[in-house]
């Protein structure tokens, strides 16, 4: 486990992730989710600055009961731009954050992944799976030999 404490977010994240612009339609976003099994996608402006996150939860929320119509209308809602339903000012993490602290954040927030930024620019995505993989890698390298010696 000591090795894990040395890791930073950038060691485990997916670098240069797929991102969308604020005017991508929900229809396009859904196609993206369908094709890549993403839970969410970061939204960036023209300078690749992170301005939002759009998750499957946000997509579902767009269809929940509201006071405008009796029945939500699929086509109308799917033509909406990402910026209409995305979560603005999303929580993000710096690429140099220790992975142990990132793990803490994921647990506290019950979230599946977080965008990673460098001075506001999107540089990666870090997900639960990435952290689990890093944990495995950290213990494989240093703790397996100990077990190997103790075996007959």
Q: List interacting residues with another protein (CB under 8 A).
A: 65-71, 73, 76
Least separation in angstroms between residue 113's CB and another protein is 29
CB of 71 to another protein, least distance (A): 6
Q: Which helix (H) or strand (E) holds 50?
A: strand 50-55
Start-to-end C-alpha separation, the chain: 24
For the CB of residue 150, give the shortest distance to another protein in the complex, in Å.
56
Q: How far is 117 from 22, CA to CA, in rounded Å?
A: 18
* Residue number, 73 or 101, with CB nearest to another protein: 73
CB 87 within 8 A of CB 53: yes
Judged by beta carbon, residue 73 or residue 96, the one nearer another protein is 73
Report the residue number, 2 or 65, with the smaller CB distance to another protein: 65
Distance CA 72, CA 49 (A): 32
Q: Judged by CB, which is closer to another protein: 70, or 146?
A: 70
Question: Distance between CA atoms of 133 and 16, rounded to whole angstroms?
Answer: 19
Shortest Å, Cβ 68 to another protein: 7
């Amino acid at each position: 486990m000591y090795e894990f404490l040395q890791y930073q977010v950038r060691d485990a994240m997916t670098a240069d992730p797929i991102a969308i612009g604020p005017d991508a339609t929900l229809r396009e976003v859904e196609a993206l989710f369908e094709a890549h099994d993403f839970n969410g996608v970061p939204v960036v402006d023209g300078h690749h600055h992170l301005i939002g996150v759009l998750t499957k939860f946000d997509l579902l929320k767009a269809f929940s009961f509201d006071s405008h119509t009796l029945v939500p209308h699929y086509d109308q809602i799917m033509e909406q731009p990402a910026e209409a339903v995305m979560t603005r000012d999303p929580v993000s993490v710096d690429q140099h954050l220790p992975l142990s602290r990132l793990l803490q954040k994921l647990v506290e927030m019950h979230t599946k992944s977080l965008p990673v930024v460098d001075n506001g620019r999107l540089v990666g995505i870090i997900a639960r799976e990435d952290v689990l993989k890093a944990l495995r890698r950290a213990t494989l390298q240093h703790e397996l030999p100990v077990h190997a010696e103790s075996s007959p």
